[in-house]
Amino acid sequence: MSYDDVEIEDMEWNEEIQAFTYPCPCGDLFQITKEELKFGEEIARCPSCSLYITVIYDMNDFIGESNSNSKNKILNTSMQQQPVIVT
C-alpha cells in the first residue's frame, strides 16, 4: 500500500537529478522521472527507505511533450540557413 497519493502539481522538478521529487518522512525524497511517467509509471520511490507514493497525473501531458519536442527539432533544423553554391 502506498504511503500517500500526491498530485504531480504538488511535486517539484529537480533539474540536478532530472526527476520530480516530493519529501519523504525519512528525510530523503520520493523520485519519479519524466520517462517513467511517459511509460505510465505512477509510483515514486524513495531511494533511502521502503516507502513509495502514488503520483496522480495526466499521462497525456507527458506523451505530447516528447512529440512536440521532436517537431520543434525538425522545424528548427529546417529553418536553419543552408549554404548556396553559385556557379
Domain count, the chain: 1
15: three-class secondary structure by DSSP: coil
CATH number at residue 39: 3.10.660.10
Question: Does residue 70 form part of some domain?
Answer: no
What's the pLDDT score for residue 62? Answer: 81
What's the pLDDT score for residue 73? Answer: 41
Question: Does residue 41 form part of some domain?
Answer: yes
Whether 10 and 54 have beta carbons less than 8 Å apart is answered as: no
Question: Does residue 73 form part of some domain?
Answer: no
Question: Does residue 24 form part of some domain?
Answer: yes
What's the pLDDT score for residue 4? Answer: 97
Question: Does residue 18 form part of some domain?
Answer: yes
Q: Write out the residue range of the structural domain in which residue 49 sits.
A: 4-60
Question: Does residue 82 form part of some domain?
Answer: no
Question: Does residue 81 form part of some domain?
Answer: no
Question: Does residue 55 form part of some domain?
Answer: yes
Would you tell me how many other CB atoms lie within 10 Å of the CB of residue 20?
23
What's the pLDDT score for residue 44? Answer: 98
For every one of its 87 residues, what pLDDT tens digit does the chain have, with 9 covering 90 and above?
899 999 999 999 999 999 999 999 999 999 999 999 999 999 999 999 999 999 999 988 887 654 444 434 434 444 445 556 676
Task: Measure CA of the first residue to CA of the last residue in the chain; give whole Å.
Answer: 73
